[in-house]
């Protein structure tokens, strides 16, 4: 089954952005506050506001693309919003059900798994080396997690 390009673009962008922005916010808030409420509030904020922002950004980007129909633009927009919203919301579940420290670890593993599988699929489709594509994308996530953890620790030290 062949999936339409606007769906693939919206899905890839929404899932990847959902993982990176949500994990970054979660880890930073966790390091800075150790508050389950703050982390959960951050996840819900990302799920709504950033999903809408990313969808509009994709919408505008697609409008600039040559030979893209209005239907394709709106399809990419809708898929981006839905993928980002749902991906971000999956991170809320461990935070609601588990100890925050455990939830953060599980969320990092979940995010790496999602982006790893997506990256492997892309590499396979493009005929690239899977380890190389997955490695590049995992490194970005690890850097975001480390950077936001460091920022959270600095902010915690101000209090």
> 19-39: per-residue pLDDT in tens?
999 999 999 999 999 999 999
Q: Which residue has the tokens 């994308």?
A: 137
Domain edges within the chain: 5-158
The answer to whether the CB of 88 falls within 8 A of the CB of 40 is: no
Residue-wise pLDDT tens digits, 43-90: 999 999 999 999 999 999 999 887 888 999 999 999 999 999 999 999
pTM: 0.93
- Write b or e for each residue in 83-96: b if 16 or more Cβ atoms lie within 10 A of its Cβ, otherwise e: bbbebbbbbbebbe
DSSP string for residues in 94-136: HHHHS-HHHHHHHHHHHHHHHHHHHHHHHHHHHT--HHHHHHH
């Amino acid at each position: 089954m062949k999936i339409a390009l606007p769906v693939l673009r919206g899905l890839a962008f929404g899932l990847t952005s959902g993982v990176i922005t949500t994990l970054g916010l979660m880890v930073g808030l966790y390091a800075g506050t150790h508050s389950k409420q703050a982390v959960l509030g951050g996840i819900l904020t990302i799920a709504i506001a950033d999903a809408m922002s990313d969808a509009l950004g994709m919408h505008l980007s697609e409008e600039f693309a040559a030979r893209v129909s209005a239907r394709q633009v709106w399809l990419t927009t809708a898929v981006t919003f839905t993928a980002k919203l749902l991906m971000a919301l999956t991170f809320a579940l461990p935070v609601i059900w588990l100890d925050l420290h455990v939830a953060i670890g599980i969320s990092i593993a979940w995010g790496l798994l999602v982006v790893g599988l997506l990256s492997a699929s892309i590499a396979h489709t493009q005929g690239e080396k899977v380890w190389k594509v997955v490695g590049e994308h995992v490194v970005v996530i690890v850097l975001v997690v480390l950077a936001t953890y460091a920022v959270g620790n600095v902010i915690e030290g101000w209090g």
